[in-house]
Amino acid sequence: MRDVTLLELTTPDGITGTGSAYTGASQVRDALNRFQQNPASLHLADAKTTIAMSAIDIALWDIRGKEQNQSVSEILGGRKRDRVLAYATVDLPMTSAKPGDAFDKTLRSILDQGFRAVKICIENFGHRTVNGSKESKLLSFARSIVGKNVPLMIDVYGSDPNWTADYDWAYKTTKILEELDYLWIEEPFAPKALDDHVRLAETTNIAVAGGEDFILLKDFENISNRKAVNILQPDCTRVGGLTQMQSIRDIASKNDINVIPHGWNTAVGLAADLQFQATLSEAKYCMVEVWPHKSILNALKHNPYALDNEGKITVPTGAGLGVELSGG
């Protein structure tokens, strides 16, 4: 379980903005007090406060959009697209890769919900107690289930403090993933193992993704300048909101690195991700992450996140973020 806080701000004119942060309510209250005393502190905070400041920044963008009667994507830089591909992140058990087993049924249930892009997380994948041939078989099994036309990715949770995978394991795994046409491997090493990230990104033909555990702009700048990944995954509810997401993308683009938001967040966080990605011209990496769980929707008055027949979400067109809380 993780703490996530929703924040609702109201201007003296009665305009309400909603934000979200990947932290507890007390931290958001402290950040709001700090912001009210000095608005310039919004993007000059330490990591802990920056996470909480994310809710304030997102809410302010929502307010600005409503004041200008425009969607956030339009004032972020111009809407380039009306729909964004949604990829589901799904936890899967380590099985023997037999049709009809739990791995098979769980993955097929995601496709049945309408997703046309999937990121898998396999229990104990990469751990020393697991046979490599079993991992290879499951990677192939997943591809056979989703078909050749569905973008398929894998997250191996290198941010786990007990992670033991080394470069040789990661390199051998990417060779398998290349043959199976996976789009990326996520967190193949611990977040601070940048030398290994750089080496792998230089030698593999699939994308290396990471960055969800970093918060401060200077860290994303370091990762980008070293070209330690091909895809950066900042979370707008952790890195300081949409303002910092723009700064991170600017830094990444100078190094030919793509940005796909990390999306382990609320319905408000997903709304911000959609507005952010709608400004993107690049189609291949124009995605948002969705955890298919009712908690994504239960805070909203209406569901704006229905998938179309291509597994895409229509970006809300209303002023601001384009979503409304159920209690509002």
Q: What domains, with CATH codes, occur in the chain?
A: 5-74 (3.30.390.10), 76-314 (3.20.20.120)
Round to whole Å and give the CA distance between 248 and 97. 39
Position 310 scores a pLDDT of 97
Position 59 scores a pLDDT of 98
Convert the pLDDT of each residue in 57-82 to its tens digit.
Answer: 999 999 999 999 999 999 998 999 99
pLDDT at 325 over 90: no
- High-pLDDT (> 70) share of the chain, %: 98
- pTM of model > 0.85: yes
Give the confidence band of 130 by pLDDT, cuts at 50, 70, 90.
Answer: low
Average pLDDT, the chain: 94
Of 219, 154, 217, residue with least CA distance to 191: 219
Concatenate the DSSP letters of all residues of 112-177 into one string: HTT-S-EEEEETTTT-TTS-HHHHHHHHHHHHHHH-TTS-EEEE--TTSTT----HHHHHHHHHHH
pLDDT at 127 over 60: yes
Position 266 scores a pLDDT of 83
Concatenate the DSSP letters of all residues of 59-96 into one string: HHHHHHHHHHTSBHHHHHT----SEEEEEEEEEE----
Residue keyed to tokens 């690049």: 282
Position 164 scores a pLDDT of 79
Report whether 217 contacts 193 (CB < 8 A): no
Residue keyed to tokens 């991700």: 273
pLDDT at 201 over 60: yes
pLDDT at 224 over 70: yes
What end-to-end distance do the CA atoms of the chain give, in Å? Answer: 26
Report whether 113 contacts 290 (CB < 8 A): no
β-pairing, 5-10 with 16-21?
A: antiparallel
Give the confidence band of 1 by pLDDT, cuts at 50, 70, 90.
Answer: low
Quick count: other Cβ atoms within 10 Å of Cβ 304? 21
Quote the tokens at residue 219.
């860290």
Quote the tokens at residue 103.
């791995």
Concatenate the DSSP letters of all residues of 222-272 into one string: HHHHHT--SEE---TTTTTSHHHHHHHHHHHHTTT-EE-----S-HHHHHH
pLDDT at 328 over 70: no
pLDDT at 264 over 80: no
pLDDT at 159 over 90: no
Average pLDDT over residues 125-141: 86
Position 165 scores a pLDDT of 76
Residue keyed to tokens 């569905």: 150
Convert the pLDDT of each residue in 277-303 to its tens digit.
Answer: 999 988 889 999 998 777 777 788 888
β-pairing, 287-290 with 207-210?
A: unpaired
Convert the pLDDT of each residue in 10-52 to its tens digit.
Answer: 999 999 999 999 999 999 999 999 999 999 999 999 999 999 9
Position 211 scores a pLDDT of 96
Quote the tokens at residue 142.
């997943």
26: exposed, middle or buried (Cβ count in 10 Å: 0-12, 13-18, 19+)? exposed
Report whether 321 contacts 271 (CB < 8 A): yes
Report whether 104 contacts 141 (CB < 8 A): yes
Position 129 scores a pLDDT of 65
- Name the maximum alpha-carbon separation found in the chain: 63
